[in-house]
A and B are shown apart, each in its own frame.
Chain A
Amino acid sequence: MPPTSAADAATNLLSGAAPGPELAKAPTGIRGLDEILGGGVPQGRATLVTGEAGAGKTLLGLEFLIAGALKFGEPGVLVTFEESVSKIAENVRSLGYDLDGLQRDGQLAVLAFQVNPAEIFTAGEFDFEPLFAVLADAIGRTGAKRVVLDTVEVLFGAFGSDVTVRGELARLTRWLEERGVTAIVTGERGDKKLSRHGIEEYVSDCVLVLDNRVRDEICTRRLRVLKYRGSAHGTNEYPFVITGRGFTVLPVTSISLGYGASEERVSTGVARLDHMLGGGVYRGSAVLVSGTAGTGKSSLGAHMADAACARGERALLVLYEESPEQFMRNQRSIGLDLRKWQDAGLLIVWAARPSAYGLETHLAVLAALIDEAAPSIAVIDGVADLSRWAPETEVTAMISRKLDLLKARGITAVITTLGQGDETSAVGISSLVDTWLLLRNTESNGERNRLLFVIKSRGTAHSNQVREFLLTDNGIDLVDVYVGSGEVLTGSARLAQLAARRESQARRAEDLDRRGRELRRSIAQHEVKLAEVRDQLAAEQEELERIGARARDQATEEGADRMAMAAQRWADATPRPRSSDD
């Protein structure tokens, strides 16, 4: 059947699903692996899984059988040449299943042979007929459609004759195929060959290689499909991880940019920040919080997780720098109680030292976590620490995959990372994110204060203003900074500036007040003086009048006296000048 479009064809190609007549496949039930294999291992054929000791071969086989029995209605038989039944039961329990129960229900049979080379002494020709007989019995009893032989390699060492063992194993795989049984045969990786004893010569339809590489003392598990006869398959090396829930393979290349974009805004848990971002961040977008040490990146991340939980959504918190206890305590100190969300099952916290695994494993762990937790938001705290353990380009690539993984599932991603105080983020991931918040310390007046910048926010008319970022007993608060005389003032400098302003205003008011009082006092004094002068003036005028009146009286009296005297002397004449003969 021709592919409907080029895009479909490309998708098929990447996911390993070949167009055309499909080979019948038996799904392994392992997350990611079936996707890489285009559905599963070849049905009714044998698949070789090789890898070093501890690479995860046995676990892969067990998951294949358990999934067959419980999910696909295909009972199975495990033939182990290395482990005891009790050890197998333990492995099965570690995956969360009960071996006894599976055996009782006839869904799984375990045939355990502990082959000890030291106890076997060969003397002449032999064959593996007992193995065939007991396997035929078990298959007949359970109706098995799946068989795992783990690990056939030990038979070579124990029975000496490689030719005979190889011949018998070839006969066994043919025998299984004749019965329509899908088999997984595990073998150990050889130095130059796929398997140490050339098992691939007769189990060659499908070959998976498990690898457990150690670099810089960090081990990374990888899976590769070396060969898949008659089927397209993913050809990359895929990281995988073994967790409490078993095997998870992350098919990296099948992650595409074909995710939707939500119009919905979700709160960051900091009201003023939401306002700066035009109502919060888009659901399913990627947010980068970068900044120097101690700027409050983790707290901002915690707020966003807290806000999600408060909305009744599930949140995943991945910590690379702190233990969960430490993180919870620190957030409690600013009034965030994350424990209650954890208790309510809304918050899932996972902490791992960056050095605990390789980058791919970190990625695969994240994939397993989001599968398990199904969160609406994932806060990944401290990714910069990863770059201490791996080249930066690889870290960037890994973070890119992480973001893709989260975006593909519509999960809001918050990544906090240590960066310089400027816009060069430590791991060069800024182009991958939708919103970038930068936290920076400013140092002045003997103190450090935090500033928050919205460097970018795709699809949002965001505030270009800088805010002071406060960590209070009640969480994060953003306050306006004081912008004046060409500089941004924060912290106590901002407070001092405000105080100084208030003070000068007060002083001015006081000055006016005093001046007024002085003037009023002066006016009062002048008025008093004015009254005194007026009194004096009045008194002087009065006296002046008195003096005038007296002068007139005197003149009148003098005239009268002279008349009287003249009348006395010269009664008929006016007084004459006085002569000497008088």
Chain B
Amino acid sequence: MTETPTAGPGPAPAAGPDAGPQEIWDLRLYVTGRSATCQRAADNLQRICEQYLPGRYRIEVVDLLENPRLAAEDQILAVPTVVRMLPAPVRTLVGDLSDTERLLVGLQLKTAGGGT
């Protein structure tokens, strides 16, 4: 498991609708090894977080090949899967996150069809 600590909290230029300005985003990325899709998802997630949540996000990467039973425990069928643990409510996104629009809407960094 890899932890990607970020810089300290700071004001965000474009916070999501339900994210307070000071709120820490806690994200978990489930992968299986170093497959291409998983790698892509990690890159895409990192990029978007840097852009929208600089300094106030945390990404935990969980490799299910290291602990397969976590898949059943955490109810993860597909990879890559991003789970927004915080802020509540929990949101689950499945896919390599290459569709930035879908990613932003899925994480609620942007409302569907609306601006930032």
Contact = CB atoms under 8 A, between A and B. Distances in A.
Given A121-B106, A127-B37, A137-B68, A115 B96 contact: no
Nearest to B35: A129
Interface residues of A, number: 25
B78 A130 contact: yes
A178 interface: no
A125 B96 contact: yes
Interface string B57-98: 000000011001101100111111100000000011111111
Interface residues of B, number: 34
Interface stretch (A106-114, A196-204, A504-512, A552-560): A106-114
Interface of A: 81, 111-115, 119-131, 133-134, 136-137, 155, 159
> Chain A at the B interface: mostly helix, strand, loop or mixed?
mixed
Given A126-B96, A133-B32, A133-B71, 17 more contacts: A81-B77, A113-B75, A114-B75, A119-B92, A122-B102, A123-B93, A123-B102, A124-B40, A125-B37, A126-B79, A126-B81, A126-B95, A128-B78, A130-B76, A130-B78, A133-B68, A134-B71
Nearest to A115: B77
B109 interface: no
Contacts of A112: 72
B54 to A, nearest CB: 21
Contacts of A126: 37, 78-81, 94-96
Given A131-B77, A159-B78, A124 B97 contact: yes
Contacts of A130: 30, 32, 64, 68, 71, 76-79
Interface of B: 30, 32-33, 35, 37, 40-41, 44, 64-65, 68-69, 71-72, 75-81, 91-99, 102-103, 105-106
Nearest to B41: A124
B96 A124 contact: yes
A111 B64 CA distance: 15
A136 B72 CA distance: 12
A99 to B, nearest CB: 15
B94 A123 contact: yes
A565 B97 CA distance: 203
B75 A125 contact: no
B79 A127 contact: yes
B35 A120 contact: no
17 contacts: A121-B92, A121-B94, A121-B102, A121-B105, A122-B93, A122-B94, A123-B94, A123-B95, A123-B99, A123-B103, A124-B37, A124-B40, A125-B96, A128-B78, A130-B30, A131-B71, A131-B78
A129 B63 CA distance: 11
A283 B81 CA distance: 68
B30 to A, nearest CB: 7
A159 B94 contact: yes
B101 to A, nearest CB: 9
A131 B78 CA distance: 7
Contacts of B94: 120-123, 126, 159
B64 A129 contact: yes
A125 B35 CA distance: 12
Nearest to B78: A126
A131 B65 CA distance: 10
Contacts of A122: 93-95, 102
A575 B102 CA distance: 203
Contacts of B30: 130
